[in-house]
Amino acid sequence: MVTGVAPRPLVPPELTRGPFTLADARRAGLTRWHLRGKAWRSIGSGMYVWSGLPDSPMRSIAAAHARLPAGAIFSGRTAAWLHDLDVPQPPAVEVTVPPEWKMSARERLAIRRASLAADEVVTRRDMAVTSILRTLLDLGQTLPPVEAVVVADMALHGGLVSLDEFQAAVKARQGTRNVSRLRRLAELVDPAAESAMESRLRTMLVLAGLPRPAAQVSLYDPGGRFLARADLYYPAARLVLEYDGATHRESLVADNRRQNRLLSAGYRLLRFTAADVLGRPGSIVELVRAQLAQPELIRPA
């Protein structure tokens, strides 16, 4: 009897855990015809994934790993993500292969050719990945300057590499291509930075020609009582710069009290949001420049 109800798609449990090949599907009892159904989606070069799995960088990386030959190394932003840095992933997984390889471009893969030393390759999640130092050096040469600082700040703040190690690695690149970009990056980074937006705000100001603010500075009233820790601070102008993130609305009362204590103690204060940093950088620069040009406030007795 015809019921008018479409049969439920066959979904073997072993194929719901991650990317798989056509051969894996056949072993589980599926054919290429089955894989054309809505239960599955192609992720390139003979790889598939169950539609019930949410998209994630790890799915794409695992799919790439399954079809890459030995000797291909995850690099760039893909390597940064595998080092547990909170970086957005590009549309294509980034891979470095030896210069002599005749490997052609592949779907959803960005292929770079370079010789990597043994100490520039490590294992993360059972996959070959450029070391954190090599990853930061690569990104310092390819990302826009502000975004390169954001990634390097994360690595330094997280203790994945020390500032001395990073600066030494940059110095060892003397005479190579784009070394001037790396030297500038080494000057701009700050291990004290605690968020990507804080790094963007600080770097944006410096690149606009303003003095470099200190990061994560403890502030006190005239009696020596701790008031707050500033995201960014210009001591000579007693100017505090704060980035208000997603949690600001939830902590509005506490933030307002903190602001009042700072103003009462003779500090200046400018607060910015993601919309300011990303959408109105010029306005931020002019506001800060104007505040720095004003005479120093008289400290309360």
| Helices marked H in the chain | 22-27, 57-67, 76-82, 132-142, 145-157, 163-171, 179-188, 196-207, 252-264, 274-279, 281-293
Domains along the chain?
13-54 (no CATH), 59-188 (no CATH), 196-293 (3.40.960.10)
The residues facing 240 across adjacent strands are 233, 269
**Within 13 Å and on the Cβ side, how many CA atoms surround 39?**
15
Residue type, 220: Y
Q: Rounded to whole angstroms, how far apart are CA atoms 291 and 119?
A: 47
- Full pLDDT tens readout for the chain, 301 residues: 445 544 556 888 888 777 777 888 888 888 888 888 888 877 666 777 777 766 667 878 888 888 888 899 999 999 999 999 999 888 889 999 999 988 776 767 899 999 999 999 999 989 999 999 999 999 999 999 999 999 999 999 999 999 999 999 999 998 888 899 999 999 999 999 999 999 999 999 999 999 999 999 999 998 899 999 999 999 999 999 999 875 545 555 577 788 889 998 999 999 999 999 999 999 999 999 999 998 765 555 4
Contacts of 189 (CB under 8 A, 6+ apart): 149, 152, 153, 156, 163, 166
